[in-house]
Amino acid sequence: MASVTNTKTLFPSTIFLLVTIFSTTLYFASCSSDEVDALLKWKATLHSQDNNTLLPSWASDQKTVSPCNWYGLSCNENGSINRLNLSSSGLNGTLNYFSFNSFPNLMYFDLMFNNFSGIIPSDIGHLSKLVYLDFSVNQFTGKIPPEIGTLMSLERLELQLNNLTGQIPRSLVTSLTSSSINKVDLKDLLDHRLPVPLLEIKEVVTLILVLAIKCVNSDPEIRPTMYDVSQELASFP
């Protein structure tokens, strides 16, 4: 009798476990499928600078294969893409057809040293988990989208050696008051026509820039007092 009772107890638990596993598998498969479709649609708009085969591992006949094995891609433990590194890949194209909202877990995005052109779309603000962004040494034009300033996890930003115009967005300036400021390279804060300061004065210049940015913050609770500023400067070795 006890055996029958145990069987009745275990059966619903087993069914629940199987359903949970099946649902989770379907969810991640769907997520991966969306990412694959987005990558293939974007690839169709790109060109190779040297007429070589363009990203051969990114193929429609490979859609049944995990994109984690494709060139330049890495995934998290759930099989969702978290790194996209196509630096120095000889690519021509734009970001106009890149579906930013298809990559909710992307943390690392590197297109350095290619020939991408056009604007940086405002949809880049959908990459809420982005930590590292490098679009340097390309041909991007237009203004830096203010949505980059809303990427609260961003620690590294490289946009130099493009054809960007206009001022640095206020949202980006404000975000530089966060704790990640020390991980943003000084050259991203200075006019790129100026040489980066020598190492021995770099920390002093960075401190002054950080204090200046805090002083113009619209939030009075973040703005330091003159006493705070003097103490910060006096404490610097």
Please count the helices (runs of H) and the strands (runs of E) in the chain: 4, 10
Residue 208 lies in a domain: no
How many domains does one find in the chain? 1
The pLDDT confidence band at residue 139, using thresholds 50, 70 and 90, is very high
Residue 235 lies in a domain: no
What does pLDDT average to over the chain? 77
Please say whether the beta carbons of 112 and 137 come within 8 A.
yes
Residue 138 lies in a domain: yes
Residue 214 lies in a domain: no
Residue matched to tokens 């006096």? 234
- Percent of the chain clearing pLDDT 70 (strictly above): 67
The pLDDT confidence band at residue 50, using thresholds 50, 70 and 90, is confident
Residue 59 lies in a domain: yes
139-142 and 163-164 beta bridge pairing:
parallel
Domain coverage including residue 106: 2-167
In tens, the pLDDT along 226-236 reads 777 777 777 76
What CATH number is associated with residue 162? 3.80.10.10
User: What is the distance between the alpha carbons of residues 136 and 142, in angstroms, rounded to a whole number?
Assistant: 14
User: What is the distance between the alpha carbons of residues 54 and 137, in angstroms, rounded to a whole number?
Assistant: 20
